[in-house]
Amino acid sequence: MTELDLFSMLFALMLATFVGFYVIQNVSRLLHTPLMSLTNAISAIAIVGSLIIAGEEKTVFGTVLGAVAVFASFTNIVSGFLITDRMLKMFREKEPRA
Amino acid sequence: MIELLTKLSYLGAATLFIFSLRWLNRPKTARNGVRAGVAGMALAMLGTLLHPEIVNFTWVALALVAGTVVGVPLSRVPLTAVPQRTAISHAFGGLAAGLVGTAKYSIWLGEGELTAFRTGAIVVEVILGFLTFTGSLMAAGKLQEVIPTRPITYRGQNAVNLGLLGIALLAGVWVVLDPTRWQLFPVIVGLSLLFGVLLIIPIGGADMPTVISLLNSYAGLSAVAMGFVLENQLLIIAGALDGSSGFILSVIMCRAMNRSFTNVLFGAFGQVQAKAVAGETKPVKSASPQDAADYLINAQRVVLVPGYGMAVAQAQHRVREIYDELSKRGIDVKFAIHPVAGRMPGHMNVLLAEAKIPYEALAEMDEINPELPQTDVCVVVGANDVVNPAARSDKSSPIYGMPIIDADKARVVLANKRSMNPGFAGIDNALYTADNTLMVFGDAKAVLGDIAAALRAENEGKAAA
């Protein structure tokens, strides 16, 4: 890897950490449980790395590990988004009193 | 051309992920946040599958089907089990990172492509990934109570744990200096798996909200490390968002218990069982559900303090009935939510939302405390340490300094408990013997049901009159 690549990755890390701190501090405490399941689903973006390893067929060992990683990540994606939505549906406002 | 499309899809996905978290800031826009997250994920996966290096889709398809088959039931667990599900998903995140790191090492080793930088990033990814994997499984086991929730400690525990991690790191440095020394790799994997288990063993059930948040952070960081290995900025960004979220939640949890990270990780809380003060027991005043209903009817402001005990007794729907009956009479009812009520950050809010209690009635500790001195009746259900006045006044108490809900400042306190046994942390609670406290003994679901029935009878009588 060239030095430029390494530094552009470090910049991405630094900026994303700041954005993360800023955005997440604004999340209402009401929603901290859905927050955790949502960020969990999002960090299952690790699936993009797993997909390539499982599909490029370089070695049997690599393919098997990659496939298990795809399974683990996709489980998190499916269950993470579904349960977040399920919980958020429950948060309702006070019905206007007649 | 295809590479450009892939990169554009990653850029779009990163943007959508940030919007996703941005929209989660309040309940009204939160569901759009989920939609943005799903869109980002779909975009990134499609962009990846375009990749010409992917030649065989059989394994990929099988893994996606298996992931769906396991993922859908995991999303339908009861809400009391959400902390366990969350811990399991941290475990899966860690596992994916550990496996990808291991696969990359073996592939690059065969191709002779291992550089010191790549090896270093892989070592970090593998250590973080595998320790998150076993640590989260242990946490899930403790939450599900298949593993004893009490802390398991022995002499020299911290030295052993840190020693193991130190050996793993040393092996990691060695492998970076000489990437072809593959024999060290299984040692690193094994020690990380073992360290994850040993890290969680001494941590008690009461600290699970902090531990879950911390493991959340580790899972995010292992995704960041994977991003450095694969030179993929989307992974770095999404991992950093997850990592910072977990970190913020851990800080909130630690503050809510007045403890430091080191204290949570190495302190073995719950071990400091307060010596039960024998003798000198103050008399306890008790009341029947009917008495409790009478107090509530004559109140103008009522605050309910729910704890995990309420959820265990499945009493949240009874609580909602009481809320409804009192609201019908124009009585102001609020719920005081301590940050560590429940077993993960925000857990109590979700449990009450499921019982259809509108979220405007849920108040944070800091916002409700100034109102408690003007509150007529404070009802404590299944909460204990978070309303223990010893945290304010008794320097010898293990929970001294912990921020609490000032339930004792209300004019009348109605506390429901099964019996006078001390709570989870085994600490005596002076609230129960205070002059303005009435104990309503019995199972929470039964007692609250009786109170709700008494209130309903009163309301119907009033309507008939």
Note the ipTM here. Answer: 0.94
Per-residue model confidence as pLDDT tens digits over B159-187:
888 899 999 999 999 999 999 899 999 99
The model's confidence at residue B276, banded by pLDDT at 50, 70 and 90, is: very low
Question: Is residue B279 pLDDT above 70, yes or no?
Answer: no
pLDDT score for B161: 87
Per-residue model confidence as pLDDT tens digits over B391-446:
988 888 878 889 999 999 999 999 998 877 655 555 678 888 888 999 999 899 99
Interior CA angle at B127 toward B123 and B130, to 5°? 130
Q: Is-contact B376 B299, C-beta < 8 A?
A: yes
Q: Does B39 touch chain A (CB under 8 A)?
A: no
Q: Which two tokens stand for residue B150?
A: 């009490």
Enzyme catalytic residues of B = 385
The average pLDDT across A44-64 equals 93
Q: Which domain holds residue A43?
A: 29-90
- Residue A13 located in a structural domain: no
pLDDT score for B423: 52
Per-residue model confidence as pLDDT tens digits over B184-211:
999 999 999 999 999 998 888 778 889 9
Whole-number average pLDDT of chain A: 91
Between helices A3-25 and B233-256, what is the axis angle to 10°?
Answer: 40
**Subunit contact A29:B339, Cβ cutoff 8 A:** yes
How many CB atoms are located within 10 Å of the residue B366 CB? 11
Q: Is the Cα dihedral B318, B324, B329, B331 positive or negative?
A: positive
Residue, of A64 and B268, whose pLDDT is higher: A64
A89 Cα to chain B: minimum distance (Å): 8
Interior CA angle at B255 toward A86 and B85, to 5°? 30
User: Which of B75, B106, B124 is the best residue to mutate to test the A interface, defined by the most A CB atoms within 10 Å of its own CB?
Assistant: B75
Percentages of chain A per state (helix, strand, coil), in multiples of 5:
85, 0, 15
- Residue A54 located in a structural domain: yes
pLDDT score for B120: 94
Question: Rounded CA gap, A25 and A21, in Å?
Answer: 6
**Subunit contact A36:B48, Cβ cutoff 8 A:** no
Q: Does B86 touch chain A (CB under 8 A)?
A: yes
> Which chain A residues are Cβ-neighbours of B359 within 8 angstroms?
30, 91-93
- Residue A98 located in a structural domain: no
Residue, of B77 and B385, whose pLDDT is higher: B77
Give phi and psi for A87, each to the nearest 5.
-70, -40
Question: Is residue B272 pLDDT above 50, yes or no?
Answer: no
Per-residue model confidence as pLDDT tens digits over B228-246:
999 999 999 999 999 999 9
- Residue A14 located in a structural domain: no
> Residue B52: exposed, middle, or buried by beta-carbon count in 10 A (0-12, 13-18, 19+)?
exposed
Q: Does A24 touch chain B (CB under 8 A)?
A: yes
A79 Cα to chain B: minimum distance (Å): 4
- Residue A64 located in a structural domain: yes
The average pLDDT across B308-327 equals 91
Q: Is-contact B94 B137, C-beta < 8 A?
A: no
> Which chain B residues are Cβ-neighbours of A60 within 8 angstroms?
none
pLDDT score for B433: 86
**Parallel, antiparallel or unpaired: strands B412-417 and B437-441:** parallel
Question: Rounded CA gap, B199 and B211, in Å?
Answer: 10
How many CB atoms are located within 10 Å of the residue A43 CB? 35
The average pLDDT across B323-330 equals 93
- Residue A65 located in a structural domain: yes
B144 Cα to chain A: minimum distance (Å): 17
pLDDT score for A78: 97
Per-residue model confidence as pLDDT tens digits over B337-362:
999 888 899 999 999 999 999 999 99
pLDDT score for B404: 93
Q: B14-17 contacts: CB < 8 A, separation 24 or more?
A: B14/B40, B14/B233, B14/B234, B14/B237, B14/B238, B15/B40, B16/B40, B16/B43, B17/A42, B17/A45, B17/B237, B17/B238, B17/B241
CB-defined contacts A:B, below 8 A: 371
Residue, of B280 and A27, whose pLDDT is higher: A27
- Residue A9 located in a structural domain: no
- Residue A61 located in a structural domain: yes
Specify the length of chain A in residues. 98
The model's confidence at residue B465, banded by pLDDT at 50, 70 and 90, is: low
**Subunit contact A36:B245, Cβ cutoff 8 A:** yes
User: Which of B3, B6, B50, B59 is the best residue to mutate to test the A interface, defined by the most A CB atoms within 10 Å of its own CB?
Assistant: B59
pLDDT score for A6: 86
The average pLDDT across A3-32 equals 91
Question: Rounded CA gap, B448 and B446, in Å?
Answer: 6
Whole-number average pLDDT of chain B: 90
Number of domains in chain A: 1
Does residue A56 sit in helix, strand or coil? coil
Nearest by CB to B249, from A36, A38, A78: name it. A36
Question: Rounded CA gap, A35 and A27, in Å?
Answer: 8
- Bridge-partner residues for B301, per DSSP? B332
Q: Does A7 touch chain B (CB under 8 A)?
A: no
